[in-house]
Amino acid sequence: MAELLEGVRDLLPVPTPQDDDLRGTIFAIERDRSGHKVAYLRLFSGELHVRQKLDSGQVTRLEVVGSGSEDRLTAGDIGRLSGLSGARVGDRLSPAPEGAPAFARPSMETVVTPADPADAARLHAALLLLAEQDPLIQTRGLPEGGTSVLLYGEVQKEVLAERLRDEFGVEAVFADSTPLYLERPVGVGEDWREIGRHADNTFLATVGLRVEPGTGYSFRREVELGSLLHSFNQAIEDTVPLTLTEGLYGWPVVDCAVTLTRSGFVAPLSTAGDFRNQTPVVLRSALARAGTRVYEPCHAFEVELPSDAFGPVTAKLTGLGAELGDTSPTLVTGSLPARLVNQAKRQLPGLTRGEGVWWSTPSGDRPVTGRAFPVRRPGR
């Protein structure tokens, strides 16, 4: 760890701060003897002090690595911070520095269960701990038991299984991987529920929402910010992205712009809970009016092969639904749905007499065509 910290401090450039905004990235997490998190933070600009409040908690202890200072952290330094109970590797205190790496969305999903049912709680806790340490691991508990884990590929399952066994003493069973589809709105949809005007409105909250295609996720307002109490505004803004984790077919909704078009409350009877309960009803109705289309994850691939295998390999890839790119007698490139990557890899040795070499990486998505939209099972 000492050599890693020295390398981070000396080799990674420190951006020239344009202002006094606090900017930094958590790049490692460990646990102290009591099991509490200790976060390693690289600070790019601004200053950080003990007892300062951050999104992930309040700094209760601060140690500047290499200097022994325990009162403040300045730009260019690395600090060991205690008290940040919600911290995860990759968390940033503010917008990422220019040039920060970005990862593609995971393309596969699996369910992990313990080989011994008595280890269920230990397995879930271990996966949560690994997710804190590794931004490539994403997990969530399932109502019927087990833990859902999002994956970039099959090799990641082998790595997880080994870490769970070696570091936590838990034998895990991984279900077959399934593609992680996405939904995008295809039109504009709007709905609202108003206090006293809708018979099915059981909440003391007026909420109107419009859904339309966008780039990434965005939330806007057409109502005055002061028309609602801050807690009511926050309840709506927090509930919208949670609702969009399951679209019309059960998959996460992306590239979606949501606009608050109407709002109202009854003082002093309305509560934030009314807005948290009302928002999903309105949003799902607006989303249904907009409609969504399902997209499947894809991998970009390269295949090196002997020239006499070019015809059989390209025919097989095309039959699987691959979109071919640049090709030559010994190199084929293109994209293929993630659900078919393993099938293509298994058939490659037989088509190339074992001389073919396959390489692929997640690379966006494409609309699902030629078959019914896949529906995500409840709880997955």
> Is there a single domain that holds both residue 194 and residue 256?
yes
230 lies in a domain? Answer: yes
> Is there a single domain that holds both residue 258 and residue 309?
no
Range of the domain at 113: 108-180
* CATH classification of the domain holding 22: 2.40.30.10
Report for 110-124, 173-187, 278-292, 340-354: range of highest mean pLDDT: 278-292
> Is there a single domain that holds both residue 213 and residue 145?
no
Instruction: Name the residue among 75, 78, 89 with its Cα closest to residue 6.
Output: 78
Token pair for 75? 């730009």
Q: Give the per-residue pLDDT at 52.
A: 87
Q: What is the average per-residue pLDDT within 16-36?
A: 73
State the Cα angle at 64 between 63 and 65, rounded to 5°.
Answer: 105
Q: What is the average per-residue pLDDT within 182-195?
A: 95
> Is there a single domain that holds both residue 175 and residue 117?
yes
Model confidence pLDDT, tens digit, residues 145-178: 778 898 887 888 998 999 999 999 999 999 988 8
> Is there a single domain that holds both residue 50 and residue 124?
no
> Is there a single domain that holds both residue 282 and residue 202?
yes
* CATH classification of the domain holding 127: 3.30.70.870
Angle, helix 230-243 to helix 272-290, in steps of 10 degrees: 40
> Is there a single domain that holds both residue 279 and residue 334?
no
Could you give the CA distance from residue 183 to residue 252 in angstroms, rounded to a whole number?
Answer: 6
241 lies in a domain? Answer: yes
Report for 112-121, 192-201, 363-372: range of highest mean pLDDT: 112-121
33 lies in a domain? Answer: yes
CB atoms near residue 148 (< 10 Å): 18
* 277: Cβ contacts below 8 Å, ≥ 6 apart: 203, 205
377 lies in a domain? Answer: no
* CATH classification of the domain holding 357: 3.30.70.240
Please, what's the b/e burial string for 177-198 (b: 16 or more CB within 10 A of its CB; e: otherwise)? bbbbbbbbbeeebbbbbebeee
Structural domains of the chain, count: 4
- Say if residues 76 and 70 touch (Cβ distance below 8 Å): no
Q: Choose the final residue of a domain: 260, 290, 320.
A: 290
Q: What is the average per-residue pLDDT within 10-36?
A: 68
CA atoms within 13 A on the CB side of 221: 12
Burial class (CB in 10 A: 0-12, 13-18, 19+), 15: middle
Q: pLDDT confidence of 101, banded at 50, 70, 90?
A: very low
Model confidence pLDDT, tens digit, residues 326-377: 899 999 999 999 889 989 999 999 999 999 999 988 888 999 987 667 887 5
Q: What is the average per-residue pLDDT within 304-315?
A: 94
Could you give the CA distance from residue 104 to residue 209 in angstroms, rounded to a whole number?
Answer: 29
Q: What is the average per-residue pLDDT within 270-298?
A: 95
Q: Choose the final residue of a domain: 274, 290, 306.
A: 290
User: Which helix (DSSP H) or strand (DSSP E) does residue 242 occupy?
Assistant: helix 230-243
Residue 71: alpha-carbon gap to chain centroid:
34
376 lies in a domain? Answer: no
Q: Give the per-residue pLDDT at 371.
A: 66
Q: Give the per-residue pLDDT at 190.
A: 97
Beta bridge partners of 112: 147, 174
Q: pLDDT confidence of 107, banded at 50, 70, 90?
A: confident
Q: What is the average per-residue pLDDT within 77-96?
A: 80
Q: What is the average per-residue pLDDT within 240-249?
A: 93
> Is there a single domain that holds both residue 164 and residue 190?
no
151 lies in a domain? Answer: yes
Could you give the CA distance from residue 120 to residue 125 in angstroms, rounded to a whole number?
Answer: 9
Model confidence pLDDT, tens digit, residues 131-145: 877 777 888 777 677
> Is there a single domain that holds both residue 228 and residue 276?
yes
> Is there a single domain that holds both residue 264 and residue 303?
no
Q: Choose the final residue of a domain: 180, 208, 225.
A: 180
Could you give the CA distance from residue 177 to residue 287 in angstroms, rounded to a whole number?
Answer: 28
Among 6-10, 71-75, 117-121, which is the least confidently predicted range? 6-10
> Is there a single domain that holds both residue 172 and residue 131?
yes
State the Cα angle at 5 between 44 and 103, rounded to 5°.
Answer: 60
> Is there a single domain that holds both residue 190 and residue 173?
no
* CATH classification of the domain holding 247: 3.30.230.10
Q: Give the per-residue pLDDT at 7.
A: 59
Query: 7 vs 206, which has greater pLDDT?
Result: 206
93 lies in a domain? Answer: no
344 lies in a domain? Answer: yes
Q: Give the per-residue pLDDT at 96.
A: 43
Among 26-35, 108-117, 240-249, which is the least confidently predicted range? 26-35
